[in-house]
Amino acid sequence: MLSEKLLSNLNKQINKELYSEYLYLSMATYADSVGLAGIARWFKGQAKEEHAHAMRIYDYIYDQGARVILEAIEKPKTDFNSIRELFDLSLEHEKFVTASINELMDIAREDNDHASVSFLQWFVDEQVEEEASVNAILDKFTYMKESGIGLLMLDKELAARK
């Protein structure tokens, strides 16, 4: 059984994951608006993943016999200045989510809740992958200018995301 503290924080995490979905969709709209459909596709893929994360927590709460309480989702940022900014903000956001997942893990450990620790380990591992993915893209900006052929090559590469 989930402690009240863990349940409350899991419900908050659902909101954070849905906000992440909304934020990445907003980033996709910017990329689409400047004609970089491949980068938009990458962000749309991120949005879908975040939705799946929220639903994974949703299902876990019900598997544990508790109830999901949904809150309002904050409006995401909609004005961006560059493609590089999208990825800088993505990394910053993923670090925020990582800290939140780590806090959930700490609560589960304090509660001696082995099932929740096991469940949350998947998210810990997923956040390592999420941050590494964005870092790999940001590394490419080191070697290219933000306009021109380098950006078009990045757009083409990210369009291949499945």
Our count of domains for the chain comes to 1
Domain that holds residue 66: 4-159
Instruction: Tell me the C-alpha distance between 55 and 113, whole Å.
Output: 21
Cα-based distances in Å from 106 to 64, 65, 116, 121, 129: 18, 21, 10, 11, 20
CB 68 within 8 A of CB 58: yes
Closest CA relative to residue 50, chosen from 12, 19, 75, 79? 19
pLDDT in tens, 139-162: 888 877 666 778 888 888 889 876
CB 6 within 8 A of CB 107: yes
pLDDT in tens, 49-100: 999 999 999 999 999 999 999 999 999 999 999 999 999 999 999 999 999 9
Res 145: pLDDT: 66
Q: What is the pLDDT of the chain when averaged over all its residues?
A: 95
Residue 45, domain CATH: 1.20.1260.10
